[in-house]
């Protein structure tokens, strides 16, 4: 449910919705939602000054609880 919610939120704001993938990782320090998007969409998901990423985190922790983390994974092969 959480993955699907975040995936929906992100798909709506990017140029390449088909390239959006969200994984829920159950780690020792709690749950993390890992978001992967098309490299060209990284800026959109992060936003000016991190504003969009912050909004995504706010919504997801509101829904999934304080301990839930949201990571935007930089897949732009370094």
Instruction: Locate all alpha helices (DSSP H) within 1-78, ordered by sequence.
Output: 2-11, 42-46, 51-64
Distance CA 17, CA 68 (A): 23
Residue 57 CA, distance from chain mean position: 8
| Contact window for other proteins (CB under 8 A) among 20-28, 30-38, 58-66, 68-76 | 58-66
Among 35, 52, 68, 70, binds other proteins (CB under 8 A): 52
Residue 73 within binding range of other proteins, rule CB under 8 A: no
| Choice between 28 and 48, CB closer to other proteins | 48
# of chain residues touching other proteins (CB under 8 A) = 20
């Amino acid at each position: 449910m959480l993955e699907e919610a975040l995936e929906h939120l992100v798909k709506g704001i990017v140029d390449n919705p088909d390239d959006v993938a969200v994984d829920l990782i159950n780690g020792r320090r709690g749950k993390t939602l890992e978001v992967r998007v098309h490299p060209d969409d990284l800026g959109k998901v992060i936003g000016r000054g991190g504003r969009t990423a912050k909004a995504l985190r706010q919504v997801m922790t509101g829904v999934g609880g304080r301990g839930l983390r949201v990571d935007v994974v930089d897949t732009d092969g370094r």
